């Protein structure tokens, strides 16, 4: 949940998102699938977004992980597709 400012600039409201997913490790590689949704009931600019997301992560050594994913929009208010890559390191 987030407390966000209204599009009109006056007042605030709650916006929320939720996700449900599963993942499975195959050695050093983990694959996942997720359903994601967001509701923002701004009176002037309401948005309802949903996506199907696919992820992959691989450990590189003991403390570094490479990850990538793609999100596919399930409605018109969600971008058709978005991709990302990332690196995480434990210090």
Burial category of 90 from C-beta neighbours within 10 Å (exposed 0-12, middle 13-18, buried 19 and up): exposed
What does the block give as tokens for 32? 């996942």
Give tens-digit pLDDT for 12-57: 888 899 999 999 999 989 999 999 999 988 777 788 999 999 999 9
User: Is the Cβ–Cβ distance between 45 and 7 less than 8 Å?
Assistant: yes
Domain encompassing residue 71: 2-6+23-89
Place of tokens 């195959």: 26
Residue 13 within a domain: no
User: Which two structure tokens, joined as six digits, stand for 43?
Assistant: 């009176």
Establish if 42 belongs to a structural domain. yes
- Does 16 map to a domain? no
Nearest Cα neighbor of 84 from 68, 72, 73 is 68
Q: What are 60-79's pLDDT values in tens digits?
A: 999 999 999 999 999 999 99
Total domains, the chain:
1
Is residue 60 one of the residues assigned to a domain? yes
Residue 15 lies in a domain: no
pTM of the model: 0.80
């Amino acid at each position: 949940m987030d407390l966000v400012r209204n599009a009109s600039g006056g007042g605030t409201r709650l916006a929320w998102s939720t996700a449900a997913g599963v993942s499975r490790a195959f050695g050093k590689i983990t694959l996942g699938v997720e359903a994601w949704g967001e509701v923002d009931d701004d009176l002037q600019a309401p948005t309802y977004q949903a996506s199907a997301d696919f992820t992959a992560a691989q450990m590189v050594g003991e403390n570094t992980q490479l990850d990538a994913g793609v999100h596919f929009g399930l409605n018109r208010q969600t971008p058709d597709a978005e991709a990302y890559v990332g690196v995480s390191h434990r210090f």
